[in-house]
Every structure is written in structure tokens, then in C-alpha cells.
Chain A
Amino acid sequence: NAGVTQTPKFRILKIGQSMTLQCTQDMNHNYMYWYRQDPGMGLKLIYYSVGAGITDKGEVPNGYNVSRSTTEDFPLRLELAAPSQTSVYFCASSSGGLNTEAFFGQGTRLTVV
């Protein structure tokens, strides 16, 4: 079972570059999330989606965009990378919202230089 798959596993970006972090899940979950985790900090919610075609901002959405055209995929876009976006990014999905078990991807380590 693949679960939640994120690509790439790591990436180095220059300031001002853009990139898309890919996330796909094969569990037919309606809910999907993007978190970032900075060193020594808890996870912060960037964006989430409760189903295809629906997205909402989390705590720290600035500098990011998402789309949810299918149930399986929830890509995260960084348009103009900044050093403050250096972090580890986790995608997660759940069947019934945050009150149910969330399954996390393996993370993408992003460094902006």
C-alpha cells in the first residue's frame, strides 16, 4: 500500500524560483493537508482541502498556493521562494477530518538559498 506519496524528497531552490511539491494518496481520503515543520517546532498547517475542488487556508498560507482537482492529488506551489520557506513539508490525508487518524507522507526537505 502506497498511502501518501510526496515528491521530491529534497530540493534546493534559489531565492525567487518557483516549484511544486507533489502529493498523492491512494486511500480515497477526502481530507488532505499541507504542513511545514521548522527545526524544533511543531507542525504548522499551510493549506487544507475537504474534497476535490475545495481548498482553504491554514495558519501559515502566505507564499503558497494549492489546488485540488482530483481526490488523489494535492500539489503545493511556491511561487517566489524565500529563505523563510526553508523547512520540511509534510502532506497528510484523512478520511474524516482532523478528528480522525491522519496519514503522513515522508516529507520534502526544502532549502532556499
Chain B
Amino acid sequence: EDKVVQSPLSLVVHEGDTVTLNCSYEVTNFRSLLWYKQEKKAPTFLFMLTSSGIEKKSGRLSSILDKKELFSILNITATQTGDSAVYLCAVSNFGNEKLTFGTGTRLTIIP
């Protein structure tokens, strides 16, 4: 069975700190790994990663994939209160239209 595990489950840091969120996976026929940010309601797309070692960046957020170790990290530098959210990691595989989601990391930024 496909599996996505995120850690930590929750994290509380002060504004300005840097955080690293982890996502490990076990899936057959891996195709891509996606990160989503979920504030109060709908998840919003952050990154999609398909190749090892290539960093994707968007402002203070960056992410990288290691297909050998079956692992991805999401980094957020100089955190702001608006970064408080649940961050979801999901993995897709070839052969079926299915995304397997992790349970998410709840990030809280204290002013």
C-alpha cells in the first residue's frame, strides 16, 4: 500500500525562524511529489517535484526531492505569521489517477 509520512506532526516557532518540514514516501511507480498549503479551507498548490536534486523555489519557500532516499523537504525561511497553516505532502504514481496524501504538518508561527 502506498504511504506518505510527514514529520513533525506539528511545529511552533517564532516569527523570523527557519523551518524544515519533512515528507517520506513509499509508493510504487513514483511519478511526482506535490506540496500544498492548507490554511482554513482549501489546499493551495505550492510545488511539484519530479526530479531528484533540483530545488524549486518561490520566495521564502523552497523544496527538494531525493528519489534515492524517498524523501522531500520543504524549507521556509524568515517565517511570518501568514505562514501558519497545515502543509500537506502528496505523491502521485504512474498507472492510476491517485494522489496519496500525508496527514500534514501543522505549522504555527508566533509573532
Please give the residue numbers on chain A whose beta carbons come within 8 Å of chain B beta carbons, in ascending order: 4, 31, 40-45, 48, 50, 56, 58-59, 90, 97-107
Q: A-B contact count, CB below 8 Å? A: 55
Assess A105 versus B99: contact at CB under 8 Å? Given A99-B32, A99-B92: no
User: Are B42 and A59 interface neighbours, CB within 8 A?
Assistant: no
Given A31-B97, A99-B31: A42 and B42 interface contact (C-beta under 8 Å) = no
Q: Which residues of B contact A (CB under 8 A)?
A: 4, 31-32, 34, 41-45, 48, 50, 88, 90, 92, 97-104
Cross-chain contact B99 with A98 (CB below 8 angstroms): yes
- Complexed CA–CA distance, A43 and B104 (Å): 10
Q: Which residues of B contact A48 (CB under 8 A)?
A: 97-98
Docked Cα-Cα span, A45 to B90, in Å, equals: 12
Docked complex Cα distance between A98 and B101 (Å): 12
Compute how far the CA of A42 lies from the CA of B25 in the bound complex, rounded to whole angstroms: 14
Rounded to whole Å, the gap between the CB of B63 and the closest CB of chain A is 14
For residue A30, give the distance in angstroms from its CB to the closest CB of chain B: 11
